[in-house]
Structure 1
Amino acid sequence: MNQQRLMQVILAPIVSEKSNLLAEKRSQIAFKVLPNATKPEIKAAVELLFGVKVDSVSTIQVKGKSKRFGKVMGKRQDWKKAYVSLMPGQELDLESAAARAE
């Protein structure tokens, strides 16, 4: 896995009530990732970008919703979500990680 590919795998963190509960209770973080990203790539990318040890990765294919634009039916894009579990004792702070990236 080359480093350029790993830098592009993670598109954005998912910040919602559900993801905040998972972060507090299970030490899991949710990310939007590339649709063709594999679990080993996601694990390596999180470890590279945030400097934490990853325990496991679970992925979900999210189907795009059908939407109506006047008379025309449209469809949002399908995308992939990854739940990353951290090793015990590891913590990921997205705010400090964003400051380091800038």
Structure 2
Amino acid sequence: MTLKTQLDIVTSPIITDKTTKNIENNTYYFNVIRKSNKKEIKRVIEELFNVKVKKVNTLNIPPKTKTIGRFKGKITRYKKAIVQLHEDYKISLFDNE
């Protein structure tokens, strides 16, 4: 698999208050494409960040309707991957780590 397709599977990390708290437990959250499976996600994370993955959980987030003033729109559906690493490994998502 080439680097371009690896970056196509894992689109971006999810950075929120909850996810930054879980970094202490070696748990990281990523947006991934909806067609990917757990084995592909595990292999891509291990190759991209040079870490050893312990467990991968996935969630399909359904589309949500949002209203801003009188306008209604939808947030697209996506897939979230929760990746837990072994104790000896870390992923540096921020510059100061």
TM range (shorter): 0.7 to 0.9
Tell me how far apart the structure 1 counterparts of residues 73 and 94 of structure 2 sit (CA, whole Å).
Answer: 35
What does 1:23-34 correspond to in 2, within 5 Å? 23-24=23-24, 26-34=25-33
The letter of the residue matching 1:82 is A
What is the deviation of 1:86? 0.3
What is the deviation of 1:36? 0.9
For 1:100, the equivalent position in structure 2 comes to none
Tell me how far apart the structure 2 counterparts of residues 7 and 41 of structure 1 sit (CA, whole Å).
Answer: 12
User: Which structure dedicates a bigger proportion of its chain to helix?
Assistant: 1
What does 1:71-82 correspond to in 2, within 5 Å? 73-82=72-81
Q: What 5-or-longer segments of structure 1 have no aligned partner? A: 97-102
Tell me how far apart the structure 2 counterparts of residues 45 and 27 of structure 1 sit (CA, whole Å).
Answer: 17
In the superposition, the TM-score normalised over structure 2's length comes to: 0.85
In the superposition, the TM-score normalised over structure 1's length comes to: 0.81
What secondary structure, in the 3-state scheme, does the structure 2 residue paired with 1:7 have?
A: helix
Are 2:16 and 1:16 equivalent residues in the alignment?
Answer: yes
Q: What 5-or-longer segments of structure 2 have no aligned partner? A: none
Report Cα offsets for 1:41-80 as digits up to 9, x if no partner: 1111111111111111000111121123665543211011
What is the deviation of 1:8? 1.2
What is the deviation of 1:6? 2.3
Tell me how far apart the structure 1 counterparts of residues 74 and 16 of structure 2 sit (CA, whole Å).
Answer: 23
Over the residues paired in the alignment, what is the CA RMSD in angstroms? 1.7
Tell me how far apart the structure 1 counterparts of residues 16 and 66 of structure 2 sit (CA, whole Å).
Answer: 22
Equivalent pairs: percent with the same residue? 31
Change (3 A) 1:69 1:21: closer
Tell me how far apart the structure 2 counterparts of residues 94 and 64 of structure 1 sit (CA, whole Å).
Answer: 27
